[in-house]
Chains A and B, each alone.
Chain A
């Protein structure tokens, strides 16, 4: 069964450093998403991406965050200058279309900012 692949599975970074989280969505999917889950809390939407541009972003997704689909297969989330409160599980997801078969999630990247 096709999977959404995320790397790395765990990243530790110093506060103020830049991090790039990587995702390979399912190849024929058209919509791509990043969500985050702070430990013990609910899953929160960050950004959606369609047709090579951001289609929606949340209040969390401020100027420190950016997304890119550099080569038609990878989908990256960059955090420019990490803060302690960015520590969370970051999930990439993709789907074919609105509600179509649900959203397929990757296994997540656990980001720890120290």
Chain B
């Protein structure tokens, strides 16, 4: 079964600075999707960024970018120019494409605090 590990339960960053959130996963599949979701205090799950495993190019969405290392099974999220609104729980998630599995597998999440 696939597993997703977020080893840092909490991090903090100064406003306008850059922070990197780490995520590793375990799978035997060669093709899959990886996601970062943001969960603010409202508890809504908001998609931040998505990466297809077959693409070597790292995904970027404005201030958010990933460092996808397929061989190392690592998928970190970099937030540049951090803003107060970035404060939230961040979840890394895995979606396989084989074996009939049709679900997101989430990590435990990481709480990001942004200090003014």
Contact (Cβ within 8 A) B43 A103: no
A31 / chain B contacts, CB cutoff of 8 Å: 102
Q: Give the nearest-CB partner of A33 in chain B.
A: B103
Is residue B68 within 8 Å, beta carbon to beta carbon, of the partner chain?
no
Cα(A109)–Cα(B100), bound, Å = 28
Q: Are A56 and B103 in contact (CB under 8 A)?
A: yes
Of the listed stretches A40-48, A65-73, A77-85, chain B binds A40-48
With beta carbons under 8 angstroms apart, the residue of B32, B52, B102, B108 that contacts A50 is B102
Interface residues on chain B, number (Cβ under 8 Å): 26
Q: Report the separation of the CA atoms of residues A56 and B1 in the bound assembly, to the nearest whole angstrom.
A: 14
Interface residues on A, range: 20 to 34
Q: Which residues of B contact A105 (CB under 8 A)?
A: 37, 44-47
Select from chain A the residue with minimum beta-carbon distance to B48: A102
**What does the 1/0 interface line of A91-107 toward B look like (CB < 8 Å)?**
10100001101111111
Q: How far is the CB of B50 from chain A (nearest CB, A)?
A: 5
Contact partners of A11 in chain B: CB under 8 A: none
Q: Is the pair B108, A41 in contact by a Cβ cutoff of 8 Å?
A: yes
How far, in whole Å, are A42 and B111 apart by their CA atoms in the complex?
12
Q: Which of A14-51 contact B (CB under 8 A)?
A: 31, 33, 35, 37, 41-45, 48, 50
* Assembly CA distance A31 to B93 (angstroms): 17
Classify the interface of chain A: helix, strand, loop or mixed. strand
Distance from B61 Cβ to chain A, minimum over Cβ atoms (Å): 11
Interchain nearest-CB distance for B26 vs A (Å): 15
A56 to B101 Cα, complex, angstroms: 7
Q: How far is the CA of A12 from the CA of B56 in the complex (A)?
A: 47
CB B108 to nearest CB in A, in angstroms, measures: 5
Residues of A near B50 (CB, < 8 A) are 99, 101-102
Q: Which residue of B lies closest to A91 (CB)?
A: B45
Chain A residues with CB under 8 Å of chain B are 31, 33, 35, 37, 41-45, 48, 50, 55-56, 58, 89, 91, 93, 98-99, 101-108, 110
5 A-B residue pairs with CB within 8 Å: A43-B104, A93-B45, A93-B104, A99-B32, A103-B35
Which 6 A-B pairs give the minimum distances between C-beta atoms? A99-B33, A105-B45, A45-B103, A43-B106, A102-B47, A107-B44
